[in-house]
Amino acid sequence: HSSGWIVAGTDIGIFHSTDIGGTWIPGNVGLSYLNIRSVATHTNGRIFAGTDVGVSRSSDTARSWTPSGLSFTAVNALDVLSSGYILAGTGSGVYRSTDNGGNWTQVGLAGTGVNALTIQPNGNVFAGINSGVFRSTDNGVSWTQTGLTGTVVRSLAFSLSGYTLAGTDNGVYRSGDNGASWTQVGLTTSPVTAF
């Protein structure tokens, strides 16, 4: 978070640390569902938590929460675009909010379970699903499948060296060409669930 706090989502709610992880303080006031699947921070200071049934948001550094307009589906991934738009990868596609989580519109991959999201510095968004990776170059409005297909993608990350990484059920794949091609680079005997 911009305050320097660390926010962690667990299966018993949200915790925050003000001392680089030395101590953790619960902040579940207003959370209806405590199984936190994803967390994202906005440049405006708001924090968003994806749960089993939607998104909650906090404007007081994870002390208390209010439900957002997305309240009917599991939210596996959250990310914030440089435009300030918020993307939610859900059990039924990608949703986008342009008003700090007040309202959400489905913008792609309808009916598809989205497990992970990552955003490149150039603004391209990658979504990991149960059959590969999709990419959007227009803030999540439209999506095209990349060169990684036929594998469950559980996590995504963008490295400082310019690679997009995909954690799959059969290891890590890496792309250096905006998702056109992917190379398996390790951990081939383990599902990779997070970066």
pLDDT the model gives residue 128 = 96
pLDDT digits (tens, 9 = 90+) for 1-23: 666 778 899 999 999 898 988 99
pLDDT surpassing 90 at residue 31 = no
Confidence band, pLDDT 50/70/90 cuts, at residue 70 = confident
pLDDT digits (tens, 9 = 90+) for 38-67: 999 888 888 999 999 899 999 887 888 998
CB atoms within 10 A of CB 45: 13
Q: Residue 111: exposed, middle, or buried by beta-carbon count in 10 A (0-12, 13-18, 19+)?
A: exposed
Pairing status of strand 6-10 against strand 36-41: unpaired
Q: What is the average pLDDT across 156-167?
A: 93
Whole-angstrom distance, CA of residue 97 vs CA of residue 17: 27
What 3-state class would DSSP assign to 75? strand
Output the pTM of the full model.
0.89
* β-strand partners of 167: 155, 172
pLDDT digits (tens, 9 = 90+) for 127-149: 999 999 999 999 888 999 999 99
Confidence band, pLDDT 50/70/90 cuts, at residue 32 = confident
pLDDT digits (tens, 9 = 90+) for 81-96: 888 899 999 999 999 9
